[in-house]
Structure 1
Amino acid sequence: MATRADNIASSFSLANFSKATELKKRIWFTIGALIVFRFLSFVPLPGVNPLILQTLYSQTQGGILDMFNAFSGGSLSRMSLIALGVMPYITASIVVQLASSLHPALAALKKEGESGRKKLNQYTRYGTVFLCAMQGWFLATGLEAYGASSGLQAVVHPGYMFRVGAVISLVGGTMFLLWLGEQITERGIGNGVSLIIMAGIVAQMPTFIANLFEGGRTGSISPFTIIMLVGLMVALILFICFMEQATRRLLIQYPKRATQRGMMAADRSHLPLKVNTAGVIPPIFASSLLLLPLTITQFAGNSVSQDSTIGKIIVTMNQYLGHGKPLYMLFYAVGIIFFCFFYTAVVFNPEETAENLKKNGGFIPGIRPGKNTANYLDYVLTRITVIGAAYITLVCVVPEWVIADTGMRLFFAGGTSLLIVVNVTVDTISQIQSHLLAHQYGDLIKKAKLKGRLR
């Protein structure tokens, strides 16, 4: 019997790929859309001075702006039209998803099928516009305050006209990215929003490689350190690929049914429970909660005297909650573990799953349907979530420790970006494989119909 690797290899053969004209069109459309996204990241926001903005970003590195800038492909540091990227949409979708699991009315709307899903998507878009407007207003106000406090004029003509124009431009840029992501999903390959986030992260790869080789040429980075960094990146990628495919398969058995020959046969299937059910949400939540106060103190530190009580508090927070500090990494790990269990409990409902199995006549061998099945699912899910939480914590904390120890910022700016890139890459490969398999089955059906007509 052929292995899964053999099937993938046969699906990706050049002969099969050259015949799949529809797939090639989808790939070229996806590449073109991502090129448009990269061009937009260099279109500046009207009314700002890019040189002053570069100084602002260099002074606030290590805060939440670092993470947003990594997800937007450097658009935030350049303050382009898409400076906010798709992060407001991600935040709004997470909030709506949490609300649909906790609020009875939204939970009922979620069960309505396609119409309910469209309604929730509409609420998500409303939330995206609201978050974009709010973040854009604070961003424009912060740029004006920075120029006023330090003597550097970040905004050419500060005032309400600049703030309104900045909000309109940022909201329009984010909504255009959402539209572009929808086009990639419908006419391209994979999830368009995920590909846009991955493209923004991967866009920093040339800078990382250039800095790495420049450090090796000047002697600031030893060859052993370079080899260790590359080896660590490869090991983390392989580890993530393995863990993201890891599942706990529960045997589901259905009652015996009569076949055409009069024999009784029992249907069997499996309920796959992913080890990492929470995905990349826990590190995003944990890092956002930790970096938000750090970013606020960095912005406020420009206008507060360090000799005052507030100034001393700000200095203390920046000292102990900075990147690479032991207290920061401890809180980061605790936050990841907490959100792993919290978000897993939100996205997977054991009672609902047990009820669906009972309605369809399915049961887990040795476990009674209903409440006992729900308790068993919760028991299994809790234990595999321990492994998943340990895995995500390791992947996210190790890069932070390497950055603190070597002073060399890794290409993916932390484990969160690394998780996103690997997950989206694996999903895209699966999408391409599905298109190739569908093309092969289509050819087989055509050949079968042709033989039937010849007979």
Structure 2
Amino acid sequence: MKRLVSTLKNIWHIEDLRTRILNTLLFLLIYRIGSYIVLPGVDPSHLKQSAQEGILGLLNMFAGGSFSRASVFALGVMPYISASIVIQLLTIAVPSFQKMQKEGESGRKQINKITRILTVVITAAQAIGYLKTMVPANAVLVNSTLFTISSVLILTSGTMFVMWLGEKITDKGIGNGISIIIMVGIIARLPLSLVQELSTRLNGAGGIITFIIENVILLGIVMFAILIVQGTRKIPVQYAKRIVGDKQYGGVRQYIPLKVNAAGVMPIIFAQAIMFIPSTIGSFFPSAADSGLLAQFRDFTSVTYNASFAILIILFTFLYTAISVNPVQMADEMKRNGGFVPGVKPGRPTAEFIDQIVSRITFPGSVFLALIAILPSIAMMAGVNSGFAHFFGGTSLLITVGVVLDTLQQIESHLLMRHYDGLMKTGRIQGRTPVTSSAV
């Protein structure tokens, strides 16, 4: 406890770090206030309450509840995430985007410009669908045509404003802004979920002991998720010695850290998108949706749904890892820089060696990822409240863990740069890839 107080004092004494943390809290406060501002012309008492499960529940969780409140920030940053994923896939498949990515700062600016334009298009399309799906006619107090046009403009402007807040957090605050906004939206639902779960337990469904056990299990799952996010397999790389004049270069051993979970949360997102297809089909055929295989796929706690979900996650993990990790490129860059893996010939043998290791660590990583993804369903089957069960795993847990680790790493960097002790008693927080659009 004494060390914690000392660390907090050190953080407060660093003026730049203190300013960044206060700026971050201010921008997040603006975001949370905006999430409660309802669209003009909408009567909140007549809004649909269907955004609690399925893909609507997922979007509502990422938006911090503003999706179900018909807020001006109802769509949040999800259109930007969708646009970023599309652009990321294009940089892998389209040569012109690959060329822009390799052009440095100018190419990055061009890609960001295209991403913003695509975000506006996606937001406008999603805004129309949102108004038709989530805002019933009896909740609209003005002319329907005027309401649709004005609301599409407001929702699009709201998403762009949230993007601006995220960029300001990145520039003037601490951590990755977009990731922190998503995490805050997820965490904002935790207090209410805890109160509901505690109320359920105190009313006879297990008592306070069961509630404490659930929280201990949740803590263990969080620690397990941290191990997966931080887990790496280090490949030693030896660089040859070069003598230029009277100076020696190279001759050192470094490591290539290959992550156990290189795909991040993308496999879960892709698998969820496919698993929502049966629910969509069932909405068009209500009579067939209540029985047979279609009914099992619409039940999030069924064995059929969870087994299929886990298999899809494992497959998508291998697919996304194969796309994002290029052993041939790594081996070529290593060879150009005079590096080699001890005991392995440079060139193609090195690429095959790296590919073999990636395949070996991807399988346990994909199994662990699938287990985390189905833990909320297991928790619901065990009697946990559905709102609280979402924190036991899935996309929300991985995003929260990743963002917190990334933010703590940045705070620790500020402390160590000014010769203070880090946040950890022994060792430093392991470096990791920030949870940006490539990971959400």
1:327 aligns with 2:313: no
User: Sequence identity of aligned pairs in percent?
Assistant: 39
* Aligned counterpart for 1:96 among listed residues 87, 92, 101: 87
Report the counterpart of residue 452 of structure 1 in structure 2: none
Give yes or no for contact 2:275–2:297 (8 Å, CA) kept in 1: no
CA contact (8 A) 1:143 1:154 kept: no
Q: Are 2:417 and 1:423 aligned?
A: no
1:321 partner amino acid: R
Runs of at least 5 residues in structure 2 that lack an aligned partner in the other structure? 421-440
CA distance in 1, matches of 2:5, 2:100: 39
Q: Provide the aligned length of Structure 1 versus Structure 2.
A: 414
User: 1:234 aligned to 2:219?
Assistant: yes
> Matches of 1:61 and 1:263 in 2, distance apart?
63
Contact map agreement 1:205 1:411 (CA 8 A) in 2: no
Rounded to whole Å, the distance in 2 between the matches of 1:255 and 1:429 is 36
Which residue in 2 is equivalent to 1:20? 14
Tell me the alpha carbon deviations over residues 324-377 of structure 1, each in whole angstroms, 9 at most, x when there is no partner: 122221221122112211211222211111111111111111222222211211
Find the aligned partners of 1:355 and 1:390 in 2 and give their Cα distance: 31
Q: Which amino acid aligns with 1:194?
A: S
Rg (Cα) greater in structure: 1
CA distance in 1, matches of 2:4, 2:25: 24
What residue is the counterpart of 1:5 in the other structure? none
Equivalences for 1:50-69 in 2 at 5 Å? Answer: 50-53=44-47, 56-58=48-50, 61-69=52-60
- 1:115-141 deviations in Å (ceiling 9; x for gaps): 111111112112211111111011112
* CA displacement at 1:256 relative to structure 2: 2.0
User: Secondary structure of 2:276's match?
Assistant: helix
**CA–CA distance in 2 between the matches of 1:262 and 1:11?**
46
**Conserved 8 A contact 1:254-1:266:** yes
Taking the TM superposition and a 5 Å limit, the aligned residue runs for 1:26-425 are: 26-53=20-47, 56-58=48-50, 61-143=52-134, 146-147=136-137, 153-157=138-142, 159-258=144-243, 266-295=251-280, 297-298=282-283, 300=284, 310-316=285-291, 317-409=294-386, 410=388, 412-413=390-391, 414-425=393-404
Q: How far, CA to CA, are the matches of 1:21 and 1:174 in structure 2?
A: 32
Deviations 1:222-265 (A, max 9, x none): 33432332122101111111221111000101112349988897
SS of alignment partner, residue 424 of structure 1? helix
Separation (CA, whole Å) in 2 of partners of 1:263 and 1:335: 51
Taking the aligned partners of 1:426 and 1:164, their CA distance within structure 2 comes to 41
Q: Secondary structure at the match of 1:33?
A: helix
Question: Which segment drifts farther, 186-195 or 213-222?
Answer: 213-222
Using a 3 Å threshold, how does the CA distance of structure 1 residues 50 and 262 change in structure 2: closer, same or farther? closer
- Which whole-Å CA distance do the structure 2 matches of 1:289 and 1:112 have between them? 35
For 1:381 and 1:324, how far apart are their aligned partners in 2? 32
Q: Tell me, yes or no, if the aligned pair for 1:11 and 1:437 is still in contact at 8 Å.
A: no
Kept in 1, the 8 Å contact 2:201–2:210? The answer is no
Aligned amino acid, residue 323 of structure 1: F
User: Which secondary structure state, in structure 2, belongs to the residue aligned with residue 76 of structure 1?
Assistant: coil
Contact between 2:77 and 2:162, CA under 8 Å: does it hold in 1?
yes
1:439 partner letter = R
Q: Following the alignment from structure 1 to structure 2, what is the Cα–Cα distance between the partners of residues 259 and 13?
A: 45
- Give 1:17 shift: 2.3
1:193-245 deviations in Å (ceiling 9; x for gaps): 00000000110121012112211222134334323321221011111112211
1:246-295 residue CA offsets vs partner (Å, 9 max, x unmatched): 11000101112349988897221111001110111111221122225425
Task: Indicate the larger mover: 316-325 or 181-190.
Answer: 316-325
Residue of structure 2 equivalent to 1:436: 415
Structure 1, 44-53 or 418-427: larger mean CA deviation:
44-53
Q: 2:380, 2:389 within 8 Å by CA — same for their partners in 1?
A: no
- The alpha-carbon distance between structure 1 residues 412 and 31, as it changes in their structure 2 partners (threshold 3 A), is farther
The runs of 5 or more residues in structure 1 that have no matched partner are: 1-8, 148-152, 301-309, 442-455
Q: Which amino acid aligns with 1:399?
A: P
SS at match of 1:270: strand
Distance 2:21 2:72 in 1: 26
8 Å CA contact retained: 1:63, 1:295? no
1:66–1:42 CA distance, 2 compared to 1 (3 A): same
State which drifts further: 393-402 or 264-273. 264-273
Quote the offset at 1:66 in angstroms: 0.4
Whole-angstrom CA distance in 2 between matches of 1:348 and 1:257: 29
Query: Under a length normalisation based on structure 2, what TM-score does the superposition of the two structures give?
Result: 0.88
**Residue 57 of structure 1: SS of its match in structure 2?**
coil
> Is the CA contact (8 Å cut-off) linking 1:29 and 1:187 kept in structure 2?
yes
| TM-fit CA distance, 1:42 | 0.2
